[in-house]
Amino acid sequence: MSPSPEDIAVAVILFVVIAAYALFGGADFGGGIWDLLAGSAGRGAAPRELIDESITPVWEGNHVWLVFVLVLLWTAFPPAFAAIFTALFVPLSLSLLGIVLRGVGFAFRHTAQRLHMQQLTGATFAAASLITPFFMGTVVGAVATGQVPVHPAGNVLAAWTSPTAILTGFLFVAACAYISAVFLVLEARQRGHQDLTRYFSRRATAAGVLTGALAGGTFAELPASAPYVYARLTGIALPLVAISIAAGIAVLGMLWLRWYHSLFLRGMAAIAVATVVFGWGLAQYPYLVPTSLPLAAGSAPTAALVAEFVVAGLAVLLVVPAFAFLYFLQQRRVLTAAETDAGLRLAAHLEQAPPSHAAAAPPPTGARMTRALVLVVLAIRVIRDAFSRSHRR
Amino acid sequence: MGGVVHVLAVNPVPARSQMGSSLGFHIILACFGIAFVAVTMTAEWIGIRRGDAAALLLARRWSKVMAVLVAVGAVSGTVLSYEMGLLWPGLMGRFGAAIGFPFSMEGIFFFLEAIFVGVYLYGWGRLPPWAHWWSGVPIVVSGVLGALSVVAANSWMNSPAGYTLSHGKLTSVDPWSVFFNASTPYETAHMVLAAYMVTGFLVAGVYAVGLLRGRRDRYHRLGFAIPFTIGGICAPLQVMMGDIIARFIANNQPVKFAAMEYVTTTTRDAPEWVGGIFINGKVYFGAAIPAFDSILVGFSPHTRVIGWDSVPPSQRPPLVTLIHLSFDVMVGIGFFLLALAAWQGWWWWFHRRLLLTAWFLVPSAVSGVAAVAAMEAGWVVTEVGRQPWIVYRVLLVSQAVTPSSGVPVTLGVILVLYAIFTVVSIGVPMVMSRRWRRETPAEEEAEQVPYGPSPARFSLAGPTAPPGVPPESSGGPEAP
């Protein structure tokens, strides 16, 4: 049986969300990787500050894409979700560990400013930024190579320790570093830091070359480990692969020529990453897990899929403008973590007299008693009414 | 349904413990996610409206604490999302299509919350005051709607609706009925009120300690009064809500209700047990109020209350003593908080002054911890009381649990991590407050702020401040 249009539509939404997470979440992970590699406290101070400034206000919003991936997967494709989370219990738990450590390291780094804790929390944040993309990569590698059984009896170690899965893990790390460095080039340029622009430009080039090499390596492994995906990648999905390669080369060229056009550079880097995600999706079609779990067999009932479609529509209506607003403010540098309350503190200290709205003469006690009673009785009746009605329904 | 067949292929206890500890931890942070912004915005409103520097300073400092708590909450919430799959693939594989819809709605509200939290927390310096205040409104709204969505998913597990099964497979779903199942309005109202109470009383408790230590300036009085008022307004509503919900549960999940109230056999004139331990069919150390349980359920001593003998032993919840005592703790603390709020309310109503005697402040200082305890006890009642079902009368916990063998390991890791989180989530705000107090002396900052007849006005970045100038001249990030 072939997949219904609803199946395909929701699968497309799922891959769009995955691509968004790869871009936005990936860039934040990459920031952590560059933080890790920035060297000693003195030498790395400037790049670390830039990374921190560009990630802090947005990372939480970017993180939500991941929650959406999970929710979409379990709502629209429950059997695939159950199978993946059972068989790949270990790498998923490890990636979760990375997410937890990273978020906490990040949260406390700012408050730990004057404590010795700062270096520890910073290191936690940075190291966790490596762990999470790597293990997520192994998960994707395991799924793409079809190593996830439909009804697993427990965790499957071999699924995510195959050469392809491990290579995919490294590929994810490199891709995060790459996309992040490209974005940081523009952040540095916008702030007028010439040296940091060149600093991240060099790193973006290196990470881009490494990502390309790892992608090539993974690709070379595919004929043996994932023949179905390989055949479609070199067949119907070939245009996407070609676009990705072209966009990647274009980014490297722009960096080499120092043509830091905000929209083009960002766009090309985004296309290079997003087309790989879509290529992976197209190569798997029509399977959720290649050749064992087809889309049609693993989909939720139609009404659930339609509901997800509505949710996606709501997201486009509500979340996209909100995100645009957030990034707009962030680009305009309205959002900043560094704030002192010195003025307020002084003012509060000086202003000891109670404010001038001094109480008007209170009404007599009897009247206040009655008023209080009436209020309480009214409140009770309103709530009782509301719930007795909803109960009858 | 094959529910009667007790499949004990795998042991659900480690998974159950991991889910319980993750949820128990996250729910406290979730309360702050739902309610803390409203508390902060109230202070900000007072600050902007009346040109009150102390209120504005409170709002700023609260939002710094919020930055920490929201980040940890976002992470611990993600842990729960993962755990739905890592621990309960049997639930998600079968019913993911049904229970997924409320979670999807929650995703949208989580998105909006996260985005506007970014604006609110980091926009203090450079957004105009009222624009900044309004940037908090979407957080309050999406906090409540997000709570509605997540609680709807939990309610669905208590009152499953809106789906059709054939041969154990989900064949059709009505997302609307899933979302608005019978339990949703009750559980949501209960949880949102709880969130406001936990946040209000916890924050008020911090300042109650400060007041007790003799720091009785306007800053501390406001820091106590604003959150205490918010918590105090919710307290009577919550007690009423609890009474309504108890009757609903007596009808909707009678076995859970029976465990809550020690109703062994279906009977009229059912007594209300206060305290007591249930061993081998008898209640020890408890006080029984004759026929009062029947009166609470149906306003008459002759109301029939269904006991747990109505289902076979395999379908009864374990640990009835835990369920009953948790219920008593929740109700007891609810009345304690109601009394506190009424006391302060009485004093305010007739004297138009804050009541700040030690007799009142000492119980107020512990009111936040008490509110947390009550909320945790409430979740114990609803979750343990639903056992052995994960979806009431549809799916057993043992059918839902993962066959993966790593759960005891992840349970250990989670416990260690959450112990660290707890220490840090409490420790960091404490360190922050100590730093704030140490640096309060005005002379330290006096040189940085132009001294004038109205320093308060100037530093508010209010209407009189020159536009575009950040209120503090000392060091933005652009300083090299």
The answer to whether residue A194 neighbours chain B at the CB level (below 8 Å) is: no
More confident residue, B465 or B406: B406
Test A383 with B477 for CB contact under 8 angstroms: no
pLDDT over 90, % of chain B: 29
- pLDDT for residue A209 is more than 90: yes
pLDDT band for B441, please (50, 70, 90 cuts). very low
Test B119 with A339 for CB contact under 8 angstroms: no
Q: Which residue of B has its CA nearest to A365?
A: B350
The answer to whether the beta carbons of residues B40 and B63 sit under 8 Å apart is yes
Omega into B470 within 30° of 0, i.e. cis?
A: no
pLDDT of residue A132: 92
When CB atoms are compared, the residue of A85, A115, A338 closest to B86 is: A85
Stated as kind and residue range, the H or E segment containing B283 is strand B282-284
pLDDT of residue B371: 94
Distance from CA of B478 to the nearest CA of A (A): 9
Test A336 with B432 for CB contact under 8 angstroms: no
Distance from CA of A8 to the nearest CA of B (A): 16
More confident residue, B202 or B282: B202
Strand partners, B406: none
One-letter amino acid of A352: Q
Q: Dihedral of CA A229/A234/A237/A243: which sign?
A: positive
pLDDT band for B442, please (50, 70, 90 cuts). very low
- pLDDT for residue B457 is more than 50: no
Question: B125 in helix, strand or coil?
Answer: coil
Rounded to whole angstroms, how far apart are CA atoms A296 and A294?
6
Chain length of chain A: 393
Distance from CA of A59 to the nearest CA of B (A): 9
Neighbours of B282 (CB within 10 A): 11
Give the best-scoring range by mean pLDDT among A37-41, A381-385, B27-31, B410-414. Answer: B27-31
When CB atoms are compared, the residue of B111, B472, B475 closest to A319 is: B111
pLDDT of residue A331: 77
Rounded to whole angstroms, how far apart are CA atoms A69 and A15?
9
pLDDT of residue B474: 35
Strand partners, A294: A287
Test A99 with B111 for CB contact under 8 angstroms: no
More confident residue, B474 or A342: A342
Interface test with B, best of A4, A48, A56, A60 (most B CBs within 10 A): A60
CA distances from A340 to A131, A255, A344, B60 (A): 34, 38, 9, 10
Comparing CA positions, the residue from B227, B216, B207, B221 lying closest to residue B429 is: B207
Tokens at residue B456, please?
């308060």
Omega into B388 within 30° of 0, i.e. cis?
A: yes
pLDDT of residue A343: 67
pLDDT digits over B64-111, tens only? 888 888 888 888 888 888 888 888 888 888 888 888 889 989 888 988
- pLDDT for residue B131 is more than 50: yes
pLDDT mean over B309-334: 89
pLDDT digits over B8-34, tens only? 345 788 888 888 999 999 999 999 999
pLDDT mean over B465-475: 36
DSSP letters for B190-211: HHHHHHHHHHHHHHHHHHHHHH
The answer to whether residue A115 neighbours chain B at the CB level (below 8 Å) is: yes
Instruction: Kindly list the residues from chain B whose CB atom is less than 8 angstroms away from the CB atom of residue A61.
Output: 111, 114-115, 118
- Give the CA angle between residues A156, B406, A77 to the nearest 5°: 55
Tokens at residue B249, please?
């549960």
Integer-rounded Cα Rg, in Å, for chain B is 25
pLDDT of residue B156: 92
pLDDT of residue B450: 28
Tokens at residue A30, please?
């990459």
One-letter amino acid of B302: H
**Residue contacts between A and B (CB atoms, under 8 Å):** 332
When CB atoms are compared, the residue of B114, B352, B455 closest to A346 is: B455
- pLDDT for residue A293 is more than 80: yes
pLDDT band for B478, please (50, 70, 90 cuts). very low
Test A380 with B84 for CB contact under 8 angstroms: no
- pLDDT for residue A275 is more than 50: yes
pLDDT band for A339, please (50, 70, 90 cuts). low
Test A326 with B237 for CB contact under 8 angstroms: no
Instruction: Kindly list the residues from chain A whose CB atom is less than 8 angstroms away from the CB atom of residue B89.
Output: 81-83, 85-86
Instruction: Kindly list the residues from chain B whose CB atom is less than 8 angstroms away from the CB atom of residue A110.
Output: 67
pLDDT digits over A226-264, tens only? 888 888 888 888 999 999 999 999 999 988 888 888 888
pLDDT of residue B155: 92
Q: Which residue of B has its CA nearest to A305?
A: B97
The answer to whether the beta carbons of residues B363 and B340 sit under 8 Å apart is yes
Strand partners, B389: B396
Comparing CA positions, the residue from B302, B323, B326, B312 lying closest to residue B258 is: B323
The answer to whether the beta carbons of residues A83 and A150 sit under 8 Å apart is yes
Return residues 315-374 of A near B (CB < 8 Å). Answer: 315, 318-319, 322-323, 325-326, 329-330, 333-352, 354-355, 357, 359, 362, 365, 368, 372
pLDDT mean over B222-233: 93
CA distances from A134 to A30, A127, A149, A166, A169 (A): 12, 11, 22, 8, 4
Return residues 43-62 of A near B (CB < 8 Å). Answer: 49, 53, 56-58, 60-61
Rounded to whole angstroms, how far apart are CA atoms B26 and B16?
15
Q: Which residue of A has its CA nearest to B56?
A: A344
pLDDT of residue B372: 94
Matching residue, tokens 């390669």: A245
- pLDDT for residue B364 is more than 60: yes
- pLDDT for residue B463 is more than 70: no
Q: Determine which of A87-101, A326-340, B104-118 has the lowest per-residue pLDDT on average.
A: A326-340
One-letter amino acid of A319: V
Q: Which residue of B has its CA nearest to A80?
A: B93
When CB atoms are compared, the residue of B72, B85, B114 closest to A81 is: B85
Comparing CA positions, the residue from A296, A299, A293 lying closest to residue A143 is: A293
Q: Determine which of A300-314, B69-83, B278-292 has the lowest per-residue pLDDT on average.
A: B278-292
CA distances from A103 to A125, A129, B134 (A): 7, 10, 27
Tokens at residue A109, please?
């780094």
pLDDT digits over A95-133, tens only? 999 888 887 777 777 665 555 667 777 778 878 889 999
- pLDDT for residue B384 is more than 80: yes
The answer to whether the beta carbons of residues A54 and A183 sit under 8 Å apart is yes
Q: Which residue of B has its CA nearest to A64?
A: B111
More confident residue, A352 or A102: A102
pLDDT of residue B34: 92
Integer-rounded Cα Rg, in Å, for chain A is 26
When CB atoms are compared, the residue of B72, B175, B185 closest to A390 is: B185
Torsion-angle region of A333 (φ positive above 0: left; ψ -120 to 50: alpha; else: beta): left
Q: Which are the contacts of B247, defined by CB distance < 8 A and separation ≥ 6?
A: B296, B297, B298
Instruction: Kindly list the residues from chain B whose CB atom is less than 8 angstroms away from the CB atom of residue A344.
Output: 53, 56-57, 60, 459-460, 471-472
Tokens at residue B359, please?
């007799």
pLDDT digits over A355-377, tens only? 444 445 556 777 778 888 888 88
When CB atoms are compared, the residue of B54, B108, B172 closest to A348 is: B54
CA distances from A344 to A119, A192, B446, B449, B476 (A): 30, 31, 11, 10, 16
Distance from CA of B282 to the nearest CA of A (A): 34
More confident residue, B381 or B275: B381
Test B107 with A111 for CB contact under 8 angstroms: no
The answer to whether the beta carbons of residues B10 and B398 sit under 8 Å apart is yes
pLDDT of residue B226: 93
Return residues 261-320 of A near B (CB < 8 Å). Answer: 300-304, 307-308, 311, 314-315, 318-319
Q: Dihedral of CA A138/A143/A149/A153: which sign?
A: positive
pLDDT over 90, % of chain A: 21
Strand partners, B288: B273
- pLDDT for residue A333 is more than 80: no
Interface test with B, best of A111, A121, A148, A151 (most B CBs within 10 A): A111
pLDDT of residue B14: 87
Instruction: Kindly list the residues from chain B whose CB atom is less than 8 angstroms away from the CB atom of residue A326.
Output: 115, 118-119
Count H helices and E strands in chain A, helices first.
17, 2
Q: Where are the alpha helices (DSSP H) in A191-237?
A: 194-225, 227-233
pLDDT of residue B5: 33
When CB atoms are compared, the residue of B67, B71, B125 closest to A336 is: B125
Rounded to whole angstroms, how far apart are CA atoms B447 and B457?
17
Rounded to whole angstroms, how far apart are CA atoms B39 and B205?
14
Test B352 with A86 for CB contact under 8 angstroms: no
The answer to whether the beta carbons of residues A83 and A289 sit under 8 Å apart is yes
Test B477 with A56 for CB contact under 8 angstroms: no
Strand partners, B289: B272
Test B442 with A107 for CB contact under 8 angstroms: no
Test A340 with B475 for CB contact under 8 angstroms: yes
pLDDT band for B319, please (50, 70, 90 cuts). confident
More confident residue, A26 or A262: A26
When CB atoms are compared, the residue of B56, B186, B350 closest to A344 is: B56
More confident residue, A187 or A362: A187
The answer to whether residue A89 neighbours chain B at the CB level (below 8 Å) is: yes
pLDDT of residue B460: 36
More confident residue, A208 or A358: A208
Instruction: Kindly list the residues from chain A whose CB atom is less than 8 angstroms away from the CB atom of residue B94.
Output: 78
pLDDT band for A338, please (50, 70, 90 cuts). low
Distance from CA of A348 to the nearest CA of B (A): 5
Comparing CA positions, the residue from A38, A22, A27 lying closest to residue A123 is: A38
pLDDT of residue B65: 87
Instruction: Kindly list the residues from chain B whose CB atom is less than 8 angstroms away from the CB atom of residue A325.
Output: 115, 119
- Give the CA angle between residues B53, B33, B422 to the nearest 5°: 100
- pLDDT for residue B437 is more than 80: no
Tokens at residue A231, please?
């055949």
Neighbours of A272 (CB within 10 A): 27
Test B472 with A340 for CB contact under 8 angstroms: yes
> Which segments of B376-472 are extended strands (E)?
389-391, 395-396
Mean residue pLDDT of chain A comes to 83
Instruction: Kindly list the residues from chain B whose CB atom is less than 8 angstroms away from the CB atom of residue A111.
Output: 64, 67-68, 428, 431-432
pLDDT of residue B86: 87
Neighbours of A327 (CB within 10 A): 17
Tokens at residue A366, please?
């009897």
Mean residue pLDDT of chain B comes to 82
Rounded to whole angstroms, how far apart are CA atoms B84 and B106?
15
Q: Dihedral of CA B103/B106/B111/B113: which sign?
A: negative
The answer to whether the beta carbons of residues A297 and A79 sit under 8 Å apart is yes
Q: Determine which of A171-180, B221-230, B458-467 has the lowest per-residue pLDDT on average.
A: B458-467
Q: Which residue of B has its CA nearest to A330?
A: B119
